[in-house]
Structure 1
Amino acid sequence: MVYRLLNLFIIFMMSVLIAFAFNMFLLPQKILSGGITGIAMIFGLVTPFNTGSIIFLLNIPIIIIGYLRLGKQFILYSLFSVVVTSLSLQVIPLRGISDDPILSAVFGGVIVGAATGLIFRSGASTGGFDIIGMVLTRKRELPLGILIFAMNAIVVFISGFVFDWDLALYTMISIYATGKVVDTVHTRHIKLTLMIISKQGEKVKKKLLSNLVRGITVLDGEGAYTSERRNVLITVISRYELAHVKRMIREADPHAFVNITQTVDVLGYFRRD
């Protein structure tokens, strides 16, 4: 219960921060919108349909896909984030902090990226292409920020023909900064290999197996200097799990030697959620 309330608090604060970045950095400089909003703006200009109605219609299949592939809680958290952001955009005054469009694009993008990454880490999204990105990264180990940047870049590139190329290029700077910061904060795609050398190998193994959904390979080892027997445990985890795993290892064997290396790729079954 406490963990869920903490996640909701983080989602709430970061959604407000996203609205702050839009009203203080991006919108005053007329930075164009990517994602579903950008697509709706383009259709709204070339068709007689209302942009708001198009946004709603385009989000329906995305929400359905997200519900089926990511779960009810994820979608509810995401809707909470969208509602908080929308309301905050109405409350926070539209006032530019800087008159420089490049500075506004960079700082706005960095703030949005940091807030979005923390929302992802709390089990939610900001809607639209973020949900599509989360679904795709469940199947393949792709950097989420770069994936979202690529999808948004296509929309912004098209909008450059419809609106203004200078604004489109400023928008590209902003969403690139957002994507890079998202990948700095949201690190689920990063995998780590742990080699744990311990006299208490059985105790460490039981501790990890009872708290993780990860396979562990146990080898017999021998200290070259002391000739003492050791257990060598090898496992692969996500970057998110590292702090938790280190704490469990210390609890099971404070004297364990642990070598942690970043994994380039994983073949075979590896639980990705």
Structure 2
Amino acid sequence: MVFTHRWLSILEGCLLVALGIHLLNSAHLLISGTAGLGLTLQYVTGLTFGTLFFILNLPFYLLAARFMGLAFTSRTFAAVSLLTLLSVLMDRWLEFSIAEPAMAAILGGLLVGFGLIILFRHQTSLGGINILAIYLERRFNIHAGKTTLACDVLILVVGCLVFPPEQILYSLLAFLSLSSVMGRYHRPPAWAQAAQPAR
């Protein structure tokens, strides 16, 4: 029963994140973390977001396996693979007509934020910056929202090289929406405060 509950929650979290990212991508906006880097690089490389997101996450599995154990790494790999699949399917089956980028930014940021909270509460991440955030929270008790916010600044700097200023400003709304959700609703679980790195 616990197993079914966990994986159903992981599916729900990935669906929310995938929908949020698809909404932002349709408005040509950014979001934080590895997803934001993938959204930026797709305009430079010509590869799809799903492909880039999967590739960018590969190096972070080593960190997850070393410090957070194989169970966490396996769940994260499954979540990343699921999000990649959902992104491909949404590109094919779901099309948005964006009249107001600000609304897309706010809704997209909220969807991604709540999806990440669901995943974090089930000791799962979407790789990349999420792995780093959970690792720092687990080992040094640094709130995941703080790590995410710091990385947001770096993603914005990279995005400035690709996107016009107007889109960066709208993207900032998405960043703030996501960070607001993480800061208010994410609570470090017991294992994040007391656990030591997995050996």
**TM-score where L is the length of structure 1:** 0.61
In the other structure, the counterpart of 2:61 is 63
2:198 aligned with 1:271: no
Which range moves more in the overlay, 27-36 or 51-60? 51-60
Separation (CA, whole Å) in 1 of partners of 2:13 and 2:46? 32
In the other structure, the counterpart of 1:29 is 27
Separation (CA, whole Å) in 2 of partners of 1:14 and 1:39? 20
In the other structure, the counterpart of 2:4 is 5
C-alpha contact (below 8 Å) 2:31/2:171 kept by paired residues: yes
In the other structure, the counterpart of 1:160 is 160
CA RMSD of aligned residues (A): 2.9
C-alpha contact (below 8 Å) 2:64/2:131 kept by paired residues: yes
Greater share of helix residues, 1 or 2?
A: 2
The aligned runs of 1:1-273 (5 Å cut-off) are 2-23=1-22, 25-39=23-37, 41=40, 45=44, 58-92=56-90, 93-96=93-96, 98-188=98-188, 238=190, 271-272=194-195
Greater share of strand residues, 1 or 2?
A: 1
Separation (CA, whole Å) in 2 of partners of 1:117 and 1:102? 23
C-alpha contact (below 8 Å) 1:109/1:177 kept by paired residues: yes
| 1:125 CA displacement | 0.4
Q: Deviations over 1:56-114 (max 9, x none)?
A: 66433311011111111111111111122122222233422652111111111111111
Separation (CA, whole Å) in 2 of partners of 1:141 and 1:44? 36
Report the CA distance shift for 1:172/1:187 in structure 2 as closer, same or farther (over 3 A): same
Percent identity over paired residues: 20
Match of 1:147, as an amino acid? Answer: T
SS of equivalent residue, structure 1 residue 71:
helix
**TM-score where L is the length of structure 2:** 0.81
C-alpha contact (below 8 Å) 2:14/2:82 kept by paired residues: yes
Report the CA distance shift for 1:173/1:74 in structure 2 as closer, same or farther (over 3 A): same
Report the CA distance shift for 1:38/1:13 in structure 2 as closer, same or farther (over 3 A): closer
Report the CA distance shift for 1:162/1:126 in structure 2 as closer, same or farther (over 3 A): same
Greater relative CO (CA pairs within 8 A, separation 6+) = 2
- Segments of structure 1 that go 5 or more residues without pairing to the other structure are 190-237, 241-269
Q: How many corresponding residue pairs?
A: 191
